[in-house]
Structure 1
Amino acid sequence: MPEIPQWASEALSGVYDPCCREKGISVVEMGLVRSVEVADGRARVELLLTSGWCPFAARVLTEVRERIEEQPGVSEAEVEVVWDEVWTTDRLSPRASRLLRFLPPPAQVPDKAAYIGRELR
C-alpha cells in the first residue's frame, strides 16, 4: 500500500463512509484512500470503494475533495475512484477491523456452534 502523507491522513480522518460513521471509522481507517499526491498546488486523490454499488460514493468523493482543498499549499483537488484494485478487508486499520468484526469464511470454522458461543460472549 502506498504511504498517505500524514497531513492528508489527518485531513481525511474526519471523513466517513456513511455506513461506518456510527462506529467512528474514517475513510482512512477503512483503507479507502489509496494515494494522495500534490504537484504545483494541485492534489490528486485516489480512492477505492468497498463496493462498486456504494450509493454514498458521490458524497464521500465531494467531502474528500473539500477536506483536501482546505489544506495549505493545495489550491485544487481531483478525487477519483480507481477500479484497477479491489478493496479487501486487509486494508482496514487494526482498530477498524476490531470494530467491524468480519466473520471468517465458513470453511475455516470447523465447529460452528463453538465459534458462535465464543463470539457471543
Structure 2
Amino acid sequence: MTPSPVPGWAAAALSSVFDPCCREKGISVVDMGLLRSVTVDGGHARVELLLTSGWCPFAARVLTDVEQAIAALPGVDTCEVEIVWDEAWTTDRLSESAARKLRFLPDPVAVPDRDAYLSAHRP
C-alpha cells in the first residue's frame, strides 16, 4: 500500500509534537519522518505512524500527543492514531535539519580513517 502524502495542515499541527527522546534537540515527529499518512473523512482523522524502534518506550506518549494535536484542529471531531508495521523506519525519512542535528555517521566499513572523517565533518 502506498501511503498518501501528509497534508500541509497536518504537518504544521504536528511540527510541535516531539518524541521525548528528541525534544531537547527540537526534532518533531514530522522531522523524524514518523508520519506515514494523515486522512480525514467526515470529521474523523486517521494518522499512521512509524516508530524508530518496535521497543520505543515512549510510543504511547507519542500516540497520545499526535492524537490530541490532530483532534484539536477545526473540522476534526475524532482521531485515531495507528502504528504501522509493514514499513520500517530508516534514517532516510529524517528531514535535512534532523539529520544534521543527529549527525549520523556512515557505516564504519565505509570510512577507512575514522579520525580523518570526523575531523573533516565536525562543525
Shift of 1:111: 1.5
- Write out aligned runs for 1:1-121 (5 A): 2-120=4-122
Secondary structure, counterpart of 2:87 in structure 1:
coil
Shift of 1:33: 0.6
Shift of 1:118: 2.4
Shift of 1:113: 2.4
**In 2, distance between residues paired with 1:23 and 1:70?**
25
Residue identity opposite 2:69 in structure 1 = R
Question: Which stretches in structure 2 are left out of the alignment for 5+ residues?
Answer: none
Greater shift, 65-74 or 111-120, is seen at: 111-120
**In 2, distance between residues paired with 1:117 and 1:98?**
16
Q: Please identify runs of 4+ aligned residues in structure 1 that moved more than 2 A.
A: 116-121
TM superposition score normalised by structure 2: 0.94
CA RMSD of aligned residues (A): 1.2
The count of aligned residue pairs is 121
Q: Cα deviation per residue 1:64-117 (whole Å; 9 max; x = unaligned)? A: 000000011110000000000000000000110111000100111022221133
Residue identity opposite 2:104 in structure 1 = F
Secondary structure, counterpart of 1:117 in structure 2:
helix
Secondary structure, counterpart of 1:77 in structure 2:
strand
TM superposition score normalised by structure 1: 0.95
